[in-house]
Amino acid sequence: MSDVLIERFESLRAREFRRLDEGGHVYLDYTGSGLYAQSQLRALEELLGHEVLGNPHSESPTSAQATEMVEAARRDVLAFFGADPDVYTVAFTANASAALKLVGEAYPFEPGSRFVLLQDNHNSVHGIRLYAEARGAEVVYLPLDAGLRMADAAIPPAGARPGLFAFPAQSNFSGVQHPLEVARAAREAGYDVVLDAAAFVPTSRLDLSSVDADFACVSFYKMFGYPTGVGALIARRDALARLRRPWFAGGTVEYVSVQNRIHQLRVGAEGFEDGTPNFLGIASVPAGLAFLRQVGIDRIHERVVGLTGRLLDVVGSVRHADGSLATEIYGPRTTGSRGGTVAFNLLDGEGRVVPYGIVERAAAAVGISLRGGCFCNPGAAEVAFGLSADQALRCFRSMPPGEFSLEGLADCLDDDVAVGALRASLGIATNDEDLDRLERFLHDFVASGSGRRDARVESVG
């Protein structure tokens, strides 16, 4: 990483994210949420202080202005992701999960269809399998290797029935970046492809002119912190037209007749935007995109790659007094084909996993924001922790609905099986001082002997 790049980002932090240092924060949860820049707040204040915006779906001046801002944001999102507006459109949603639900509930699954997905997916992708199974489709999981990368498994042909293939551009558990070329292979095998890009796009360039995804899902708060209630389904127009919505709402229809019991959905993205859109939030999206353009997504990527190498060194260097390793990293130990997300656990002097909740709370006490749990990614967690299907099933079934807890799961499992991990993730405002403080904390924690295998896990991630 060049000295010029380091200086550029240090200046950026002082100018746009000074609240971190003023509050003594070490923020290492960018995969959970990005941070907004001060310039975004100024742009939002300027917008809200001068414009009078009304509910869209009307021809009044205030409604028309809000409608134009929503459409301008739609165009800006397409441009940011290199998506040809003649080929793609954007449906605004509450977040990436809502975008994935739109695809799942409306996809024309039927007996003979296949829904194929990686083990490494967010729960919001796994949830699509319920729609597939309910309509008689086959669900096929492609396995991960020991490094939590996609194993060399052939994609089964889709056959004559509609088929959907889903994968994350970047794992929110391990930081693995799965090859985007998988999308092309899946389409050639006959599938529509849904790409979960939520963890990828904050620090890596997604160019939909060269990635064969039919649907891509993002959350803008993960990219630039604000707004927190807006995401997007970026969809090929022809793929969107193949979806069959099971519901309609205000804003999505051209007409509804009660006495005739018929309705007509709007064509394109508006047929998927239920109710009143978050027009004030959507209007603030261009300021966030402008900020990322100004900094440069490729510069952000280079910066995060460099810091990720340091983070891996920091976590991997922690040892006990006898020289034994005090950490276990889940996923790649190098910066190749991975993002700035590192999942790990601390180990006690006997090599057993220290419950992540103990470490998470100790870090919080000194101003360090880590995330603990399984990160809504059960497939990657099961592979990472070596959790056997039979043992897990026995433990899950031993806890009735409403009584599940990670503490109970830990009690049920063998002593050497983890039930969660710690996750440190890097972003635009991370600097070396943040990693210095993390390093001191990890070494001090291990040296103090604070971790106990028999301690209770109180938080569920």
Can you say whether residue 274 is alpha, beta or left, with left for phi > 0 and alpha for psi between -120 and 50 degrees?
beta
Question: Which residue type sits at 292?
Answer: L
If you write DSSP's letter for every residue of 157-180 in order, what string do you get? P-TTS-EEEEEESB-TTT-BB--T
How far apart are the C-alpha atoms of 46 and 16, rounded to whole Å?
Answer: 17
Residues in the chain: 461
Question: Is residue 445 within 8 Å of 359, Cβ to Cβ?
Answer: yes
As a whole number of angstroms, the distance between CA 427 and CA 35 comes to 8
The DSSP annotation for 405-437 comes to -HHHHHHHS-TT--S-EEEEE--TT--HHHHHH
Contact 314, 439 (CB under 8 A): yes
In whole angstroms, give the CA distance from residue 182 to residue 120. Answer: 14
Q: Catalytic site residues?
A: 376
- Secondary structure class of 80 (helix, strand, coil): helix
Check if the beta carbon of residue 426 is closer than 8 Å to that of residue 309. no
